[in-house]
Amino acid sequence: HAKSGNGYFLLINRASVDPPSETEGEIATPSLKSDSSSLRALARVGVVVKLLRMFQLPDQRASALVQMLRRVQPMELLRGEPFPVVRVAYPEELFIESDVTSATVRQLRMNLQAFFEVHPHVAEELKLATTLIEAPGALADFVAQHLTRDYGERLEFLAELDISKRVRRALEVTV
């Protein structure tokens, strides 16, 4: 059991994938069979996260606050037991700054502010977090995590490596 502040994890959701070709690292994941069909059952992109805080919800379920550190692509299932180890690639995000992207980020920030004004029940910490996020990609990831409608939409955000496209999608979510 990891304690708050000192655990790093690889989170990869289950979905069909076609693994990319290059590898750069190894990270442990939840249990899988040691065969290629198990790798194909994973989403094509996951994340390495740092566990910041564990807490118990009112309905007695456990929850965790994590910090996303980096996107990863599962490449090869190296071992299945006692816990799986997956070789991963670290995909590069693409960002070309432009006037259009800057304007989109400004509009996204204004939309988030307007959203919080009409939803006063949103935690102050969440509101503050949006004002502290400077990187456009991180802001889009925040929207994906907190405002997307479903699991599939979150996976689409996660898989998008073009930050300008991710920011546009985040803006669409906030409209």
| 94-144 pLDDT, tens digit each | 999 999 999 999 999 999 999 999 988 888 888 888 888 999 999 999 898
Mean pLDDT over 5-10 rounds to 58
Strand partners, 48: 10, 70
Mean pLDDT over 18-34 rounds to 45
Supply the pLDDT for residue 95.
Answer: 93
Residue 165 CA to residue 175 CA, distance in Å, equals 16
Which ranges constitute the DSSP H helices of 15-150? 36-40, 99-118, 124-132, 136-147
User: Is the pLDDT assigned to residue 55 strictly greater than 90?
Assistant: no
Write the single-letter amino acid at 53.
R
Supply the pLDDT for residue 128.
Answer: 86
Write the single-letter amino acid at 95.
F
- In this prediction, residue 3 has a pLDDT band, given cuts at 50, 70 and 90, of very low
